[in-house]
Structures are given as structure tokens and as C-alpha cells.
């Protein structure tokens, strides 16, 4: 079963615009991670935010976490055509044991 749900399911933007995708989850978490998947490939880890953190930055990525609302958002600034991919949030209750993924947001960046 999926722990999280991403919103929107699909997003199409012009190159240079910002892309925001949201993730809601159901149970208590130890950390929340975001992964990216190019078509037909495996997932690649992007960024991790711990349950006691509220915001984290990595390059053009900004992640926020609201544990009271059980939600997270991923912002990609100044998007590029190469950012076209599916993005998934993932959670685990501790120690990277059973890591469960959301349903994903499919992002298309139009050059």
C-alpha cells in the first residue's frame, strides 16, 4: 500500500518557472525523502528532511515539512527541461526499514 499521496498527479510548466508538488502521508514518520525517476529508470534520491526539521534546501530544491498536517512540499526553482521526470515522496518510521513511497507527481518542463 502507498503511504503518501502526491498532488498534483501531473504538472506541466515552462522552462524557468518554479514547480511545486505536495505530499501527504498517513502515519508518524522519522524522516521524509524525495526521489526522482526518469522514464524507465530507477529512482534517485534528491533530499531528506527529518521529522524535527521544517525546511531544507539543496541547490534549486526546497523542501518543507509540516508534521502537524502530515504533509510536505517540494519546490524546484528555475526549472529546466532536464527536470522532466516523476517525483515521489517516501517515508519510514525509523532506521530506513520499511520505506514506503507515494503515488508520484509527473513533471513536464517545456523548453
Partner 1 sequence: DTGVSQDPRHKITKRGQNVTFRCDPISEHNRLYWYRQTLGQGPEFLTYFQNEAQLEKSRLLSDRFSAERPKGSFSTLEIQRTEQGDSAMYLCASSTGASPLHFGNGTRLTVT
Nearer to partner 1, 5 or 15 (CB): 5
Total residues contacting partner 1 by CB under 8 A comes to 25
CA-based torsion, 15, 85, 97, 91: positive or negative: positive
How do the residues of the chain divide into helix, strand and coil, expressed in percent and rounded to 5?
A: 5, 55, 40
Q: Which of 16, 18, 45, 78 binds partner 1 (CB under 8 A)?
A: 45
Name the one range near partner 1 by CB under 8 A: 42-50, 51-59, 60-68, 71-79. 42-50
CB-wise, 1 or 27, nearer to partner 1?
Answer: 1
Omega before 43 within 30 of 0, i.e. cis: no
Amino acid at each position: 500500500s502507498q503511504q503518501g499521496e502526491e498532488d498534483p498527479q501531473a504538472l506541466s510548466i515552462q522552462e524557468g518557472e518554479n514547480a511545486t508538488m505536495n505530499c501527504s502521508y498517513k502515519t508518524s514518520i522519522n524522516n521524509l525523502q524525495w526521489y526522482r525517476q526518469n522514464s524507465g529508470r530507477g529512482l534517485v534520491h534528491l533530499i531528506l528532511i527529518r521529522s524535527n526539521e521544517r525546511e531544507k534546501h539543496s541547490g534549486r530544491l526546497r523542501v518543507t515539512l509540516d508534521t502537524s498536517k502530515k504533509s510536505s512540499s517540494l519546490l524546484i526553482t528555475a526549472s529546466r527541461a532536464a527536470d522532466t521526470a516523476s517525483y515521489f515522496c517516501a517515508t519510514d518510521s525509523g532506521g530506513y526499514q520499511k520505506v514506503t513511497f507515494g503515488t508520484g507527481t509527473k513533471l513536464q518542463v517545456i523548453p
